[in-house]
Every structure is written in structure tokens, then in C-alpha cells.
Amino acid sequence: MDLKTNNIGKTFSGVNVLRNVDFDLKPGEVHALVGENGAGKSTFVKILSGVYTPTEGDIFLDDKKVNITSPIIAQKNGVSLIHQEPQSFSHLSVAENIFMGHMEGNNFSRVKWQDINKKSNAILQSIGLKIDPKKIMEGLSIADQQMIEIAGALSKNSKVLIMDEPTSPLTPNEVGKLFDIVNKLKSNGMAIIFISHRLEEIRQISDRVTIFRDGDLITTKNINEVSNEEIIKFMIGRNIEETEVKENQFIKNDEYILNVKNLSLSKKFNDISFNLKKGEILGFAGLVGAGRTEVAKSIFGAEKFDKGEIIYDGESIINNSPNEAINNGFAYVPEDRKQMGIFGPVAVEDNITSAIPKDISNSMGLINSKTVTTLTNDYINKFNIILTSGRQLIEELSGGNQQKCIISKWLLSKPKVLILDEPTRGVDVGVKSEMYEIINKLAEEGTAIILISSELPEILSLSHRIIVMREGKITKILNNKEATQEKIMSYAIN
């Protein structure tokens, strides 16, 4: 089936995340979508698969205009999305997982077991998968679950298959198997959209590649006509200006505050070793899923680790809980602001003082509300947080101001090691530069900072050193002088 889009755009509460996307997909083609996190490729495929409805523009299937308003309608039109984390029913059989939602007959019809088992078997065989369709889903590997989801799409006679980073949870061996299947489907005339961060895979499997950046479709190229370096350049942007690199003078001291040795957690990260000086900003670059957040959580005591050692201020320590970590002088600004960063329907001042219970209460536990207000107002003024009063609910503030509140909260706990996980995500440009000033100033005052960020310019301009991670391992540690966006990207991807 031919798929074309004309001028597709999407706006979320006033923010334009996708603009003027003209895209086309031919039957028998594997079309890769690449772009940095937040470039718009996920939003785009969600529009195609009916999860979002576009704010503007049209979708055409075989030159017929279609209105895709829900996943069900998308599926009925032959467009299926394969989720990165398979959406399966673990208590039901493989055949049921394939046919759930579109079994023959009405509610009280008998399920035609033989029929669906036979059909499932045929589909599974056609993609070269040896699984008994009567087997219960529970206990199957992610790879198998993914294949079964593909089988489900085939059972609905899908003509367009969208695969959102299907390879990221798979082992190399499983990736090979998946690619065999993709090639088979392709030769049968299936049109496939394939999202991946791994350029080698894209080179191996796809015919054309489309690059997204900041909500725009930058270009579409035949894969043979474009080099990896060129793709990376398109992803980052034409004008890679020389970002200002800071001098490393004031951390000439050799006071190591943190020394992480061979930290490992099974299936998350492996053999992570690095050290951190007082006043140093250590950037962590890499793609989503590279394991950076998991490392941070393990250091902060929110998750365990299997092996390794953390030496802090000359002593080997283990933070068994965030509570211990905070008492030891650690602080963590989490990536997922809504789920782990803020108490949404709670006043700003209670949010800001939530990590320092002892500082705002006396020995009896009585809260000194004057202290709460003073401390809050200090930071409201210092960071120029825009709100009506400290009693306003934090969820009513803009993302940037929320983030300033969270950073205030952690600065109040006077951390020696501050971990920032995507601190400027969803923050507008003005606040961003304010945030950079804050971060630099903290480092100058001697706070050691771990900065996890997916925005390369941010990492480059702030960090003294940059650790690049890929699939749970450190692939390179770069000094800021030698680091460039291209270098980081190539270590993060290959």
C-alpha cells in the first residue's frame, strides 16, 4: 500500500512539535526514520497509527484521503504499530494474542480454536518463527513477544507496518532474526517504517532514510547515497557552531569526591567506572536507553546494583535508599519530572522544602512556616521563578519554573554531588540559559555535578569531561577540548 502525507503538523497546548511533514512510503520498502530524541519522529508515527490526531494536514492511503482518529481505525485501514515494549496478554495463548480484538463471530460465539491456531501457525511459519500457538504467552522472551505482535498485525492483513525502535530490547542474535522477518515481509510487498538509533542496522535493513530534526522533516535519501557522517550531520543541524568550551583551570585541584568502580546491574548497565572531582561537571551523553539514568539511580540508592564499588570522599559507601543518599550529600533531579520530581497538586513551598524536613522543623517536628516561606522566597528571587505566591500549586507553573523549583529543592539540601538527569527537557530557551548559569555557578562553588543530557550542545558547553554510553557500557570518555557533536554521536551510535 502506498502511504503519503501532506503537510502534517501537530501542536500540543500551543507548542508546535511537528511541522509540514510531506512523507511517502512505497510497498515493498523499508523506510527508516532517524533523529535525535524529541525530533518529532515518534509523534509522526503516532499520528500515522492513530494514537494522536494531527492538528493539520492529510494522510493518503493509495491516493485516497483517510481520517485516522484511533488505533482501531488505523488498523482497519491496514496500518499497524509495533510497540517498543510489546503490548501482550501474558495469561493468554499465543494464538489469542494474535487474534484478540478481531476474532470471528459475536460475543457468545465459540472461539474457533482450530481455526485460529491453524492460521496462527501459518502466519508464524511464514515469518519463520517456531512457536506453538497454544503456548501461554507468559515466560516468552521480549523478542518472541515482539514477533507475535508482528504476527498479530499480519493477521489483520496490515499493509503498512510501523516499528518503533524494535531492536533496542533485543540481543544481536535476535536482531538478525527480526531482520530476516522484515526482509520476508518486504519481499511480500509490505511497506515498513523502521525507527532505530543504530545507523549500522539502518544501513543493513532499509532502502531509504528520512531524517527529522526539531519537528521538521529535514530530508529523505536513498540509503546508498548518504554516508553515516552525513546522516549525523543532518540530525544535529547544518550549522554546527563551535560551542564555547570552558577552561578547566578551577578544577585543577585533585580532590576526588566520587570514585565509581566497575558498577554493574544485570540487563541495565555493565562495568561502569569513572571519577568525579569537586567542582567538576561530568557530562553523560548517549541515547535514550543507554543506561545513564539507571547508573544515576543506583548511585542515588533508588535502585540496587549487583557488582562494583562507590567510593565517596575516600570511603566506600552504599546508599541503600534515597534517604541515605541525601544524608550523605547526594541529590538527584530526575528525568521524569511529573512522576518523580514534583508533588503536582501541592504548594510550591512544600515542594521546595520536601527534602529538608529537619531544616524546617524543630526537634518536636513542628513546622516553622516562616522558615519555609523565607527559604522558598530566597530561591524564588534568586532563580527568578515566576508564580503568584509560594502557596500556588506547582503543577500550575510552566515546565521551566517547575524545574527551577526542583533544583531549588535540592540546593537547599546542600549536596556535594548533584546528579542532573535531563534538567532542561521541556524548558524554554530563556529559562535554559538561566539554568546553565546556575549549573556553572554551582560547580564554581565546588559542587560536583553529573549532567545527563541528550542535548549535545548542552553537554558540550557545560561539561569539563564527557562520558559517552551505549547499551549499558561506557564507550568513551572525552575531554571537553577534544569533544565534538560528531564524535559524541559516533560513540553513542556505533
Partner 1 sequence: MLKTISIYLSENPTLRYWIVRPEWVAVILLIISIISSIQLSPFFADLAFIMDSATPYVEYGLIAIILTLIIISGEIDLSIASMIALTAVIFGTAYNAGFGMPISMLIALFSGTLCGLFNGILVTQLQIPSIILTIGTLTLYRGIAQSLASDFSLGGYPSWFIGIDYRYIGIVPIPVIIFTVFAVVVGFFLSSTIYGKQLYLIGTNPQTAKYSGIKVNRIKLLLFTLSGLVCGIAGVLTTSRLAVARFNMATGAELEIVLMVMLGGTYIFGGRGNIFGTFVAFWIVVILRAGLNVARIKIESQLTILGAMLIIAIILTNYIYSKSQK
Partner 2 sequence: MTLFDKFLRIRELGIFSIIVVFVIVAAIIDPRFMTLDSWRAVFLAIPLILVMAMGQMMVIICRHVDISIGSILAFSAIVIGLLYIQFPGLSLWLSLIITAFVGLVMGLINGFIVTRFNVHSIIVTLGTLSLYRGLVFIVSGGRQIDRNDIPEHVVSFSQTSFLFSIPGILIFSGIIVVITHLVMRHSVLGREIYATGSNPVAAHLKGINVTKVTLFCFGICGMLAGVAGLFYASRFGYVNPGVTGVGIEFIVIAGVIIGGTSITGGSGSVLGTFLGILLLGIINVALPVLNIPGEFQKAIYGLIIVVALALDQLIIYRMKKLSGGINA
Q: Which of residues 336-365 bind partner 1 (CB under 8 A)?
A: 339-346, 350, 354-355, 357, 360-361, 364-365
Picked from partner 1, partner 2, none, the partner binding residue 339 (CB below 5 to 8 A depending on kind) is partner 1
Query: From CA 412, how far away is CA 447, in angstroms rounded?
Result: 13
Query: From CA 162, how far away is CA 117, in angstroms rounded?
Result: 25
Out of 63, 64, 101, 247, point to the residue binding partner 2 (CB under 8 A): 101
Picked from partner 2, partner 1, none, the partner binding residue 409 (CB below 5 to 8 A depending on kind) is partner 1
Q: Which are the contacts of 276, defined by CB distance < 8 A and separation ≥ 6?
A: 256, 257, 258, 259, 260, 282, 417, 448, 450
Shortest distance (Å) from residue 410 CB to partner 1: 9
Query: From CA 147, how far away is CA 180, in angstroms rounded?
Result: 11
The verdict on 325 binding partner 1 (CB under 8 A) reads: yes
Query: From CA 203, how far away is CA 224, in angstroms rounded?
Result: 8
Out of 58, 367, 386, 430, point to the residue binding partner 1 (CB under 8 A): 367
* Strand-by-strand arrangement of the 330-333 sheet: 330-333, 417-421, 448-452, 281-285, 465-470, 473-479
Exposure letters 42-61 (e unless 16+ CB within 10 A, then b):
bbbbbbbbbebebeebebeb
Q: Which of residues 369-398 bind partner 1 (CB under 8 A)?
A: 388-389, 391-393, 395-396
The verdict on 1 binding partner 2 (CB under 8 A) reads: no
The per-residue DSSP string of 316-341 comes to EE---SHHHHHHHTEEEE-S-IIIII
Shortest distance (Å) from residue 339 CB to partner 1: 5
Pick the closest to residue 292 from 435, 407, 454 (CA basis).
Answer: 454
How many residues touch partner 2 under the rule CB under 8 A: the total is 30
Instruction: Write the CA distances from 463 to 101, 265, 293, 453, integer angstroms.
Output: 51, 26, 17, 11
Q: How far apart are the first and last CA of the chain?
A: 33
Indicate the SS3 state at residue 483.
Answer: coil
Shortest distance (Å) from residue 139 CB to partner 2: 5
Q: Which of residues 36-95 bind partner 2 (CB under 8 A)?
A: 71-72, 75, 85, 87-92
Kindly tell me which of 152 and 390 has the beta carbon lying closer to partner 1: 390
Picked from partner 1, partner 2, none, the partner binding residue 240 (CB below 5 to 8 A depending on kind) is none
| Element of type H or E holding 11 | strand 3-12
Shortest distance (Å) from residue 157 CB to partner 2: 15
Kindly tell me which of 190 and 450 has the beta carbon lying closer to partner 1: 450
Binding mask 396-425 for partner 1 (x = CB under 8 A): x------------x----------------
Shortest distance (Å) from residue 270 CB to partner 2: 16
Shortest distance (Å) from residue 456 CB to partner 1: 27
Out of 105, 314, 345, 365, point to the residue binding partner 2 (CB under 8 A): 105
Kindly tell me which of 56 and 85 has the beta carbon lying closer to partner 2: 85
Matching residue, cell 543530557: 453
Picked from partner 2, partner 1, none, the partner binding residue 412 (CB below 5 to 8 A depending on kind) is none
User: What phi and psi values does residue 68 have, to the nearest 5 degrees?
Assistant: -100, 105
Long-range CB contacts for residues 174-182, cutoff 8 Å, separation at least 24? 174/141, 174/143, 175/201, 177/128, 177/143, 177/147, 178/143, 178/146, 178/147, 179/204, 179/205, 180/128, 181/127, 181/128, 181/129, 181/147, 181/150, 182/30
Shortest distance (Å) from residue 99 CB to partner 1: 32
Out of 56, 69, 113, 171, point to the residue binding partner 2 (CB under 8 A): 113
Q: Which of residues 294-313 bind partner 1 (CB under 8 A)?
A: 300, 302
Kindly tell me which of 237 and 344 has the beta carbon lying closer to partner 1: 344
The verdict on 318 binding partner 1 (CB under 8 A) reads: no
DSSP single-letter state for residue 347:
B
Applying CB under 8 A, the residues found at the interface with partner 1 are: 300, 302, 321-323, 325-327, 332, 334, 339-346, 350, 354-355, 357, 360-361, 364-367, 388-389, 391-393, 395-396, 409
Applying CB under 8 A, the residues found at the interface with partner 2 are: 71-72, 75, 85, 87-92, 96, 100-103, 105-111, 113, 136, 138-142, 267
